[in-house]
Structures are given as C-alpha cells and as structure tokens.
C-alpha cells in the first residue's frame, strides 16, 4: 500500500476521533450535573427537524463536496471529509505543477542539446518519444545512404539500428543474410522499420554530451515521479468523494424505521427530481 494512503488514513482517524474525545472530557468534568443527552440522541433529534428533501439530497451533496452531506445531517464526521479534501487537493495541485515544470525542463534540454544539430524548432513529440530518448544515446539515421532506396541504420547502439535488427530477426530466416529485396520477408522487415523508426525531424544524439544526458534522465525521472504522486492524490480525492456519499447513504439508512408488520428493517428509496 502506498505510504500516502497510510498517512492519509491516520489523519482522518485523528480528525474524526477529536470530537469524541472532547465530548468525553466535558462529561467527566461535570459529575454533579444530570447526564446530558448522548451525542447520537442529540444528532437524531437534530436530524428529525431537518426537511425530508434536505435529507434526501445529502448523498448527492457529499458526492459533490465531501462532508457537505454529513453537515446537512448534523454529523461531526463532516470535518474529517473536509480536511481530507483540502489536503489532498493542495497536494495534487502541488505535484501536478512540479510534474509539468520538470516536463518543460527535459523537453527544453532535449531540444537545446540532443536535437539542435538536426534542425531548429523541432516538433515536440509524444511522451513515449522522450522515454525512448533516455534509453539510447542516439536515434541513428533513418536512411543511411541518401538517394536511391531505403538503407536502414546498421549501428545497433542506436534506436533505429536496434529496430532494424529486430525487424530482420522477425521476418528473415537469417538476420545476417538478406533475402531478395522483392521478397515478402524483406518488404515486411522494411515495413516494420518504416512504421517504427525515428524520422529525421525527430533525430537526436547525446554523443559528447554525457553530463547533459545524465541531467536529462534525472529530470524526466523526477517528472514521472511527480506525475505518479499527483495521480495518487487524485485517487484519494475520488475515494473521499465516494466514501462521503456512501457514508451519507448509510446514515440515512440507519434512520429508517422498523417495519411493524415484520419486525425487520424496511428499505425505502426515492430519487429527488426537481420540478
């Protein structure tokens, strides 16, 4: 389980337990007075004075704003959901901002160092492109010998060279012995290469820039970590909304009267519809 959820659960327990502890201290501090109504009795009395329409809307309100439905039902758990929502939202925004800042940094570093020798103002490219760039020092040439037919990259330390090796191993019986260029095996290997190879406008090379390459890999790793943490807090936000709604539904369910005919709980449901 991620540590974020452990810390989060501990925070919620502390917030929810605080009102109960304070109430217990107040009762112990006044032993000579008649015992007041229990908190549950007070809550039931307060809820009984609420309009039915307001109670029916409590689960919807909790889904939209965690804790709002509990506040409508006069439940002290509202504070816990609200604190959780604010904390998770602040953390989500902070991590998302950090992730986007790091993403801009590694894109700029790639454009200024690894891609600058292949033309000015290169296209941005998808995330998978930058992930591939941190695994290979160079993309390699798309066409080794300009003019005539396509001559794939042979240097297997580059991305295109490794891809051409994979294409040969996939379609040729012997990757070191090329078949006839008009054969289906040769055309299939070339088709795979054309489909997945790095095109000239996306070419890169970190050769003679090892320090910048290390910085690039560190920056993209930090960006990925920040995006992952933002996703974790987004999950916490979603769980907080759903849990608050279920809590409100359960609270209303526990208020339903017993069925006098059977002696068991009666289940009632209604869907509010504005007129």
Number of helical (H) and strand (E) elements in the chain, helices listed first: 10, 0
* pLDDT score recorded for residue 4: 56
Same domain, yes or no: 204 and 242: no
d(CA 229, CA 233): 6
Residue 173 within any structural domain of the chain: yes
- Give Cβ neighbours of residue 88 (< 8 Å, ≥ 6 apart): 8, 233, 236, 237, 240
Same domain, yes or no: 81 and 132: no
* pLDDT score recorded for residue 237: 96
With a pLDDT cut of 90, the percent of the chain lying above it is: 61
Same domain, yes or no: 83 and 150: no
Interval 86-122: pLDDT, tens: 999 999 999 999 999 999 999 999 999 999 999 888 8
Give me 90's structure tokens: 């602040």
Same domain, yes or no: 237 and 209: no
Mean per-residue pLDDT, 157-177? 96
Interval 194-215: pLDDT, tens: 999 999 999 999 999 999 999 9
Same domain, yes or no: 60 and 123: no
> To the nearest whole number, what is the mean pLDDT of the chain?
82
Residue 37 CA, distance from chain mean position: 45
Same domain, yes or no: 58 and 141: no
Same domain, yes or no: 239 and 154: no
Residue 49 within any structural domain of the chain: yes
The last residue of one of the domains, among 205, 225, 245, is: 225
* Number of structural domains found in the chain: 2
Residue 271 within any structural domain of the chain: no
For the cut 70, the answer to whether the pLDDT of residue 147 exceeds it is: yes
Residue 35 within any structural domain of the chain: yes
Quickly state the pLDDT bin for 230 (edges 50, 70, 90): very high
For the cut 70, the answer to whether the pLDDT of residue 156 exceeds it is: yes
* pLDDT score recorded for residue 34: 41
Interval 11-35: pLDDT, tens: 444 444 444 444 344 434 444 344 4
**Full domain range(s) for residue 13:** 3-97+226-254
pTM over 0.75: no
Same domain, yes or no: 213 and 156: yes
For the cut 60, the answer to whether the pLDDT of residue 151 exceeds it is: yes
Same domain, yes or no: 60 and 15: yes
Same domain, yes or no: 68 and 148: no
Interval 32-74: pLDDT, tens: 344 454 555 555 555 555 566 667 788 899 999 999 988 888 8
Same domain, yes or no: 219 and 231: no
d(CA 67, CA 79): 7
Residue 269 within any structural domain of the chain: no
Residue 109 within any structural domain of the chain: no
Same domain, yes or no: 25 and 86: yes
Residue 259 within any structural domain of the chain: no
Residue 270 within any structural domain of the chain: no
* pLDDT score recorded for residue 75: 87
């Amino acid at each position: 389980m991620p540590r974020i959820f452990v810390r989060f659960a501990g925070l919620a327990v502390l917030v929810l337990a605080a009102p109960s502890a304070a109430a217990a201290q107040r009762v112990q501090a006044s032993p000579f007075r008649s015992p007041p109504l229990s908190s549950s009795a007070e809550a039931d009395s307060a809820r009984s004075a609420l309009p039915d329409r307001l109670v029916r809307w409590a689960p919807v309100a909790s889904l939209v704003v965690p804790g709002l439905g509990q506040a409508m039902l006069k439940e002290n758990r509202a504070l816990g959901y609200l604190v959780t929502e604010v904390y998770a939202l602040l953390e989500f925004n902070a991590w998302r901002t950090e992730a986007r800042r790091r993403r801009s940094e590694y894109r700029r570093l790639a454009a200024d160092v690894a891609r600058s020798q292949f033309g000015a103002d290169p296209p941005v490219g998808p995330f998978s492109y930058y992930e591939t760039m941190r695994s290979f020092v160079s993309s390699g040439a798309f066409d080794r010998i300009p003019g005539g037919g396509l001559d794939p990259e042979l240097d297997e330390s580059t991305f295109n060279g490794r891809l051409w090796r994979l294409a040969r191993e996939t379609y040729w019986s012997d990757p070191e012995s090329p078949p006839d260029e008009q054969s289906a095996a040769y055309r299939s290997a070339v088709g795979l290469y054309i489909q997945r190879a790095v095109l000239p406008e996306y070419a890169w090379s970190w050769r003679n820039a090892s320090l910048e390459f290390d910085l690039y890999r560190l920056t993209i790793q930090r960006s990925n970590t920040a995006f992952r943490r933002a996703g974790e807090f987004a999950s916490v936000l979603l769980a907080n909304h759903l849990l608050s709604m279920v809590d409100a539904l359960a609270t209303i369910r526990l208020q339903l009267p017993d069925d006098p005919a059977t002696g068991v709980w009666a289940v009632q449901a209604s869907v509010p519809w504005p007129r």
